[in-house]
Chain A
Amino acid sequence: MAAVDALLDDVLNRAEGVSEQAEVFHLSRRRRPVSFEANRLKALEGADSSGMALRLIKDGRVGFASTTHWQGAGDLVSHALETAPFGPKAMMEFPGRRDFTPVQVYDPALEGHPLEDMIELGRRIIDGLRAAEPDLLCDATVSRSVSIVTLRNSRGGRAQYTKGVFSAYAGGTLIKDTDMLFLGDSAASCHPITDPAPLVDGVLTQLERGRTVASPASGSLPVVFTPRGVAAALLPPLLAGFNGKAVLQGSSPLVGKLGERLLDERFSLWDNPTLPMIPGSRACDDEGVPAAAMPLVDKGVISGFLYDLQTAGQAGAAKAGNSHRGLGSLPSPGVSVALVSEGEVSFNDMIADIKDGIVVERLLGAGQSNILGGEFNANVLLGYRVEKGKITGRLKNTVINGNVYTVLKSVQGLGSDAQWLGGSLKTPSVYCANVSVATTD
């Protein structure tokens, strides 16, 4: 990293000389994906990428430039200076030198994990799926990546951490005439994944529940969102309301609601980036502010919003620490590791409780509706019909519609089945009453 350090020092020194404050952010990543297509090993990749961004404050305004070009560092200062006169008014100071409580997100075993073992994992996943259903056409990706984030600013702030993430995805397609069934599950960890069983079981459970097509369901029905269903339908519209930018601009439905109980008192939602060896965790945010656990919803009460330095400054007393950034744009507030409170009802008990309803697993087109208003409105890509306490097959040509602030105001129950999804979200199933379901005849 000596070369990177010298490069960052050089850019920061030059920027300091022409601005009030400056900050450099560098990201480098090595990825090794192994991909399987149509049941067989298809390609091996090696992907190295790196780049840096410069943010500076000149005459009270924020200028910004970034590059991934092999000769791009030389122009960063002049590009950032060119944008500054038009940039937003700076409402922040970069943080000075801080001590961070370490948060471990790097397992040295990850980088040396043999390629052969990654190929083997993919093979075993596909073999496991095809043993249960020979007609299944499977894709899989097994990947490991190591990222290094380096940050320093003109006020003495410095941060650097290395994160290693191992991920695996398994998908299967089953086509009968013109009926297509899509299955898929994924896992992510800071440690190498070697056991194919959880992924295979996850996909096969979907297959078992969805193999036959059930009779259509429609009306205002009870709905169980599985953990994957919660991630697809409920969390994006809910989290949009906690973004400090939306709150500041008055476009969040949660404006002025801090401290009010808007959701079911069993429902809590925390952001906790300090959990060790969780892919979404980190010791500091992407502006060098120490990471800390914070409640967004505590027992149904709206308890906090997500801010980065600039939005925290604009909001007054609020605390920063939730910033995320890629290379190409300014930091922006967001959640790191979302944790939804676990309940006491088993998934099977939820199903047994339903006379006529549905289970939502995967959606198609979520995110195309009025997310900011709390709405979810999507095709049920994978979901099941529940009749008289039993799953009776897969739904087709079905859409659901609702608003998180309505359906989470009072839930029927929270599951005892909390699980990690993708390394940055842990949630149980959520059982809701009265969600609008429509279908073709």
Chain B
Amino acid sequence: MNDSLQDLITHALKGHGAQYVELRIHEGASSHVRYRGRELEEVNRSTAGGGCVRALAGGGWGFVSFNSLDGLRDKVKSAVHNARLVGGDPVALSPTDPVVDSVEPQVDKDPSAIPLRDKKLLLDQYVEEIWRTPGISTSTVGYGDARRRRVFANSEGSYVDQTTLDVVLRLNAVARDGPEVQQSGVSLGAAGDFSEIEGLHRQAREVGQRAVELLKAPQVKGGEYTVVLEPVLAGVFIHEAFGHLSEADHVYEDKRMQEIMVLGRRFGGSHLNVVDGAAAPRLRGSYAYDDEGVPSTLSPLLREGVLVGRLHSRETAAKMGESPTGNARAIGPQHPPIVRMTNTYIENGAPSPEDIIADVKDGLYVGNWYGGMTSMEQFTFSAGEAWLIRNGRVEELRRPVLLTGNLFTTLESIDAVANDLSMNQGGGCGKGGQSPLPVSNGSPHIRIRRCLIGGS
């Protein structure tokens, strides 16, 4: 793309008689390396490119996506035509100032400048660390990096040219004893800085050790437990338990949901403060402008346990009479932007992590993660590791557990928030068929009373 792209786009957007039109062009380059066992299973380089037009006309939305830039103006026309076919009641968009800007990533060690040979050398070392433990039956190590450029322009005069970087690393070990198969893994990521995934030899070795240890560990019995979550898992918890329900697109068309999610409602104790925002610097969910050209923000969601805000696109903000927060994101050119989280975290409390474990007579200490999901009211998140807590001490290892909760009781049941906030950068979020979107989440250690655990 060159200077004439701006002319091309500006020309394509002109004079369609629509209420609003936006055009995005995406270009990307990525590389992936994956090992299965000690063998390298796949190395690839990919390039991606495409674009889309979203139009609002006569109360309906039309959307067109494509790989080729030929006939851009006709594509805009077609999106406007689709919108008119939909029709309906007028749709308002929250007013924002047009922005013209260009944003380049700031990183110390750009992965696209590192030769494949050097990346492989580092990954070889991690593979060897995993295999140091006798009894491993296989392992997978996956690495990926991506450089993504997106050009956004709309009929209100915005033109934003933005590039972001992303790096992910997943280490996983599998141990088998007859029909028993156990696994352990870690996922890490960074907003493009390769140095954040260097020097992880100790973690890699522990992944191997843990998989083998789990073969001998018993399973916990299903039921309710007092659980202490380590920060990485507590980050996944707050993303699932609360983050998704703070996305206004689940609320803005639904009267009953609005009653439930009314600002001012109490969800937890005064030690519970939750924030989301892409303006938090240098995290995987960070950016300068969202996919509607709205500047990123840092939005308080819960203040001292009370609902004070939610995440918006321009449409949901207008409909609910609130301010846009810069949370409209699209994973690629094939999708329209929808309301998404960015970097979501529980803020620090006062006690130390040791303090909140010391009070537990009989409970579970859970950490690491496989994933999480939500249905709004109910949610699950799964720990990769679990230990019994007895009389304030973390004791024997147990097999990974699935934790499940209910929005209206589980947040209330958080009775302690420690002071050691740390961010989990290894996850990706899925919603509306758009997955995995780079996000981060985090928390200090937290304690939940009466959390339901699936088990034998």
In the complex, whether B256 has a CB less than 8 A from a CB of chain A is: yes
In the complex, whether B49 has a CB less than 8 A from a CB of chain A is: yes
Stretch at the interface among B65-73, B352-360, B387-395: B65-73
Q: How far is the CA of A63 from the CA of B45 in the complex (A)?
A: 9
Question: In the complex the two chains form, is B47's CB within 8 Å of A68's CB?
Answer: yes
Q: How far is the CA of A82 from the CA of B88 in the complex (A)?
A: 53
Stretch at the interface among B102-110, B151-159, B401-409: B401-409
Question: In the complex the two chains form, is B454's CB within 8 Å of A43's CB?
Answer: no
Stretch at the interface among B277-285, B343-351, B375-383: B375-383
Contacts across chains A and B counted by CB atoms under 8 Å: 260
Question: In the complex the two chains form, is B404's CB within 8 Å of A50's CB?
Answer: no
State how many angstroms separate the Cβ of A365 from the closest Cβ of chain B. Answer: 3
Question: In the complex the two chains form, is A378's CB within 8 Å of B380's CB?
Answer: yes
Question: In the complex the two chains form, is B180's CB within 8 Å of A381's CB?
Answer: no
Q: Which residues of A contact B44 (CB under 8 A)?
A: 64-66, 83, 328-330
User: B-facing mask of A32-64, CB < 8 A → 1, else 0?
Assistant: 000001101111111111110000000000111
Q: How far is the CA of A73 from the CA of B66 in the complex (A)?
A: 16
Which residues 315-371 of B have a CB within 8 angstroms of A?
A: 334, 336, 370-371
Question: In the complex the two chains form, is A253's CB within 8 Å of B82's CB?
Answer: no
With both beta carbons as reference points, the residue of chain A lying nearest to B45 in the complex is identified as A79
In the complex, whether B188 has a CB less than 8 A from a CB of chain A is: no
Q: Which residues of A contact B408 (CB under 8 A)?
A: 178
State how many angstroms separate the Cβ of A368 from the closest Cβ of chain B. Answer: 4
Question: In the complex the two chains form, is B137's CB within 8 Å of A249's CB?
Answer: yes
Q: Which residues of B contact A369 (CB under 8 A)?
A: 370, 382, 400, 402
State how many angstroms separate the Cβ of B349 from the closest Cβ of chain A. Answer: 25
Question: In the complex the two chains form, is B138's CB within 8 Å of A251's CB?
Answer: yes
Question: In the complex the two chains form, is A43's CB within 8 Å of B138's CB?
Answer: no
In the complex, whether A405 has a CB less than 8 A from a CB of chain B is: yes
Q: Which residues of B contact A137 (CB under 8 A)?
A: 253-254, 256
Question: In the complex the two chains form, is A364's CB within 8 Å of B375's CB?
Answer: yes
In the complex, whether B42 has a CB less than 8 A from a CB of chain A is: yes
User: B-facing mask of A289-329, CB < 8 A → 1, else 0?
Assistant: 00000000000000000000000000000000000000111
Q: Which residues of A contact B179 (CB under 8 A)?
A: 253, 374, 405
Q: How far is the CA of A381 from the CA of B376 in the complex (A)?
A: 11
Q: Which residues of A contact B43 (CB under 8 A)?
A: 63-64, 83, 86-87
Q: How far is the CA of A414 from the CA of B223 in the complex (A)?
A: 30
Q: Which residues of A contact B373 (CB under 8 A)?
A: 364-365, 368
Q: How far is the CA of A64 from the CA of B40 in the complex (A)?
A: 13
Which residues 50-81 of B have a CB within 8 angstroms of A?
A: 50, 60-69, 78-79
In the complex, whether A115 has a CB less than 8 A from a CB of chain B is: yes
Question: In the complex the two chains form, is A86's CB within 8 Å of B181's CB?
Answer: no
In the complex, whether B32 has a CB less than 8 A from a CB of chain A is: yes
In the complex, whether B176 has a CB less than 8 A from a CB of chain A is: yes
In the complex, whether B174 has a CB less than 8 A from a CB of chain A is: yes
Q: How far is the CA of A439 from the CA of B456 in the complex (A)?
A: 12
A44-B85, A64-B44 known; A173 vs B39 contact (CB < 8 Å)? no
Q: How far is the CA of A364 from the CA of B404 in the complex (A)?
A: 9
User: B-facing mask of A248-280, CB < 8 A → 1, else 0?
Assistant: 011111010000000000000000000000000
State how many angstroms separate the Cβ of B384 from the closest Cβ of chain A. Answer: 10
Q: Which residues of A contact B415 (CB under 8 A)?
A: none
Interface size on B, residues (CB 8 A): 83
Question: In the complex the two chains form, is A436's CB within 8 Å of B116's CB?
Answer: no
Which residues 380-413 of A have a CB within 8 angstroms of B?
A: 381, 396-397, 399-401, 405
Question: In the complex the two chains form, is B47's CB within 8 Å of A86's CB?
Answer: no
Question: In the complex the two chains form, is B137's CB within 8 Å of A379's CB?
Answer: no
Partner of B61, one of A42, A80, A252, A400: A42
Question: In the complex the two chains form, is A330's CB within 8 Å of B382's CB?
Answer: no
Which residues 433-455 of B have a CB within 8 angstroms of A?
A: 450, 452-455
Question: In the complex the two chains form, is A69's CB within 8 Å of B452's CB?
Answer: no
Question: In the complex the two chains form, is B85's CB within 8 Å of A65's CB?
Answer: no
Partner of A399, one of B260, B371, B402: B402
Which residues 215-247 of A have a CB within 8 angstroms of B?
A: 218, 245-246
Q: How far is the CA of A89 from the CA of B37 in the complex (A)?
A: 14
State how many angstroms separate the Cβ of B214 from the closest Cβ of chain A. Answer: 9
Question: In the complex the two chains form, is A66's CB within 8 Å of B375's CB?
Answer: no
Q: How far is the CA of A62 from the CA of B43 in the complex (A)?
A: 8
State how many angstroms separate the Cβ of B293 from the closest Cβ of chain A. Answer: 20
Q: Which residues of A contact B120 (CB under 8 A)?
A: 86
With both beta carbons as reference points, the residue of chain B lying nearest to A372 in the complex is identified as B181
State how many angstroms separate the Cβ of B312 from the closest Cβ of chain A. Answer: 16
Q: Which residues of B contact A439 (CB under 8 A)?
A: 452
Question: In the complex the two chains form, is A436's CB within 8 Å of B380's CB?
Answer: no
Question: In the complex the two chains form, is B371's CB within 8 Å of A367's CB?
Answer: yes
Question: In the complex the two chains form, is B116's CB within 8 Å of A41's CB?
Answer: no
Question: In the complex the two chains form, is A401's CB within 8 Å of B456's CB?
Answer: yes
In the complex, whether B208 has a CB less than 8 A from a CB of chain A is: no
Q: Which residues of A contact B455 (CB under 8 A)?
A: 401, 436, 438
A329-B44, A368-B371, A378-B380 known; A115 vs B183 contact (CB < 8 Å)? no
Partner of A370, one of B82, B181, B407: B181
In the complex, whether B224 has a CB less than 8 A from a CB of chain A is: yes
Q: How far is the CA of A45 from the CA of B334 in the complex (A)?
A: 10
Question: In the complex the two chains form, is A175's CB within 8 Å of B256's CB?
Answer: yes
User: B-facing mask of A81-93, CB < 8 A → 1, else 0?
Assistant: 0110011110000
In the complex, whether B264 has a CB less than 8 A from a CB of chain A is: no
Question: In the complex the two chains form, is B182's CB within 8 Å of A370's CB?
Answer: yes
State how many angstroms separate the Cβ of A407 from the closest Cβ of chain B. Answer: 13
Question: In the complex the two chains form, is B181's CB within 8 Å of A377's CB?
Answer: no
In the complex, whether A95 has a CB less than 8 A from a CB of chain B is: no
State how many angstroms separate the Cβ of A141 from the closest Cβ of chain B. Answer: 10
User: A-facing mask of B153-183, CB < 8 A → 1, else 0?
Assistant: 0000000000000000000001010011111
Q: Which residues of B contact A66 (CB under 8 A)?
A: 44, 46-47
In the complex, whether B243 has a CB less than 8 A from a CB of chain A is: no
Partner of B82, one of A46, A63, A68, A436: A46
Q: Which residues of A contact B33 (CB under 8 A)?
A: 86
Question: In the complex the two chains form, is B68's CB within 8 Å of A440's CB?
Answer: no
A86-B120, A249-B138 known; A440 vs B452 contact (CB < 8 Å)? yes
Question: In the complex the two chains form, is B260's CB within 8 Å of A175's CB?
Answer: yes
Q: How far is the CA of A405 from the CA of B181 in the complex (A)?
A: 12
User: B-facing mask of A112-141, CB < 8 A → 1, else 0?
Assistant: 000100000000000000000000010000
Which residues 186-218 of B have a CB within 8 angstroms of A?
A: none
Q: Which residues of B contact A195 (CB under 8 A)?
A: none
A38-B253, A180-B377 known; A370 vs B400 contact (CB < 8 Å)? yes
Partner of B62, one of A44, A62, A173: A44
Question: In the complex the two chains form, is B224's CB within 8 Å of A441's CB?
Answer: yes
In the complex, whether A344 has a CB less than 8 A from a CB of chain B is: no
State how many angstroms separate the Cβ of A436 from the closest Cβ of chain B. Answer: 5
Which residues 413-449 of B have a CB within 8 angstroms of A?
A: none
Partner of B452, one of A42, A47, A175, A399: A399
Partner of B372, one of A62, A327, A368, A373: A368
Q: How far is the CA of A49 from the CA of B50 in the complex (A)?
A: 8
Question: In the complex the two chains form, is B183's CB within 8 Å of A373's CB?
Answer: yes
Question: In the complex the two chains form, is A436's CB within 8 Å of B83's CB?
Answer: no
Best-surrounded residue of B32, B39, B223, B402 (most CB of chain A within 10 A): B402
Question: In the complex the two chains form, is A42's CB within 8 Å of B174's CB?
Answer: no
Q: How far is the CA of A137 from the CA of B249 in the complex (A)?
A: 14
In the complex, whether A67 has a CB less than 8 A from a CB of chain B is: yes
Q: How far is the CA of A189 from the CA of B253 in the complex (A)?
A: 31
Closest 4 CB pairs of A and B: A438-B222, A365-B380, A69-B49, A38-B253
Interface residues of B (CB under 8 A from A): 27, 32-33, 36-37, 39-50, 60-69, 78-79, 82-83, 85-88, 116-117, 120, 137-138, 174, 176, 179-183, 222-224, 253-254, 256-257, 260, 334, 336, 370-382, 399-400, 402, 404, 406-408, 450, 452-456
Q: With contacts A87-B40, A364-B378 known, what are 6 further pairs, Cβ within 8 A?
A: A43-B82, A46-B65, A79-B45, A88-B41, A251-B137, A251-B174
* 16 pairs from A and B in contact (CB 8 Å cutoff): A86-B33, A86-B40, A87-B43, A88-B40, A180-B378, A253-B179, A255-B176, A364-B380, A365-B379, A365-B402, A368-B370, A370-B400, A373-B181, A374-B181, A400-B454, A436-B455
